[in-house]
Amino acid sequence: MSQSIEDEALSPLGSDLKCDGYGIFLVVSSVLFVLYLALHAKKNLSSLCHRGSYVVVSYYALLWLVTLLNLAWSSLQAWQCSHGKEVAWNLLSLFTASGMLCLEISLIAFLLKDNYMNGMEALAHSFIASGIVVFVDTLLKAIYVFGFGVPLFNNHVGSTHTIKWSLWIVHKLLLAAAYSFILFAHFSKWREKLPPRPAFYNYVAVMFVLSVISLFACGLAGIGIGLGNWLYDVTVLCYHSLYLPFLYVTFLADFFREEDFLLDTAYYSEMKDAGFFDADWE
């Protein structure tokens, strides 16, 4: 049985998104985002030094680490189609998935604290909470992948492995439940306890929809419907190619734009004090 699965994985007719032309989109999107971060790195680091936010500094560093992992994951898709690369592919996939999950959970923890711009205490609490969740998730995945041989990160298995899809269903269900709880709280009497940031709820709504679609796809794949495999591959493609830029634009970009605004205001005040605009009042 396992031999037939491997033969299918190595077949050029495999239907997995990650071993055909769609892999090019993953690589291109990852490279473009790395280049974007690199082009803005000097300005962003200067902003971080001026503001002194431990939380944002740590999150920016984590974003860089996960972005590089995701670039490696996108570029080495052929590993899951090659003999002798199973362990390396599983390790790379495990670390990449754990890093992206850490970004998701820590971001929610930062924003729910409503003081994510400063404070070592907020940083410690947020990373402890997210670290525990990510550690447990990573440990369970490692046990199933390396201990029981469950091909969590090999999409060529398709619907032939019920345990794989059952585990992904539980994983996606928990994420969907977490995002749905935040959306529910936003429209309930606990709304005052949540941060008044519209971008945060737009982010949560998008991630909730993605989690529900992924959950639906895993359910279909688990009962042997081919559409489920295709839909799950599409969600993986969207997640790995668009999530990191979406996160950066939604949250971190605002932080750096605010720094630019503060600098412009300071320059204007200095020029006004020096009398550059006195002629405008005459």
- The span from the CA of 2 to the CA of 199, in Å, is 46
Q: What is the pLDDT of residue 56?
A: 77
Mean pLDDT by 10 residues, the chain (282 residues): 41 44 83 94 80 74 95 90 88 96 83 53 72 93 93 73 91 93 78 71 91 95 88 94 92 67 41 43 46
Closest CA to 103 of 58, 138, 63, 73: 63
Q: What is the pLDDT of residue 130?
A: 85
Q: What is the pLDDT of residue 264?
A: 41
Q: What is the pLDDT of residue 82?
A: 80
Q: What is the pLDDT of residue 80?
A: 83
Q: What is the pLDDT of residue 224?
A: 86
Q: What is the DSSP letter of 146?
A: I
Q: Which amino acid is at 241?
A: S
Q: What is the pLDDT of residue 102?
A: 92
Q: What is the pLDDT of residue 42?
A: 85
Q: What is the pLDDT of residue 121?
A: 61
Q: What is the pLDDT of residue 16?
A: 44
Q: What is the DSSP letter of 17?
A: G
- The span from the CA of 186 to the CA of 195, in Å, is 9
Q: Is residue 87 within 8 Å of residue 26, measured between CB atoms?
A: no
Q: What is the pLDDT of residue 262?
A: 44
CATH code matching the domain that covers 2-248, chosen among 1.20.1070, 3.90.930, 1.10.390, 3.40.50: 1.20.1070
Q: Is residue 30 within 8 Å of residue 245, measured between CB atoms?
A: no
- The span from the CA of 205 to the CA of 32, in Å, is 26
Q: What is the pLDDT of residue 110?
A: 67
- Which residues are CB-contacts of 211 (< 8 A; sequence separation ≥ 6)? 172, 175, 176, 179
Domain extents for the chain?
2-248
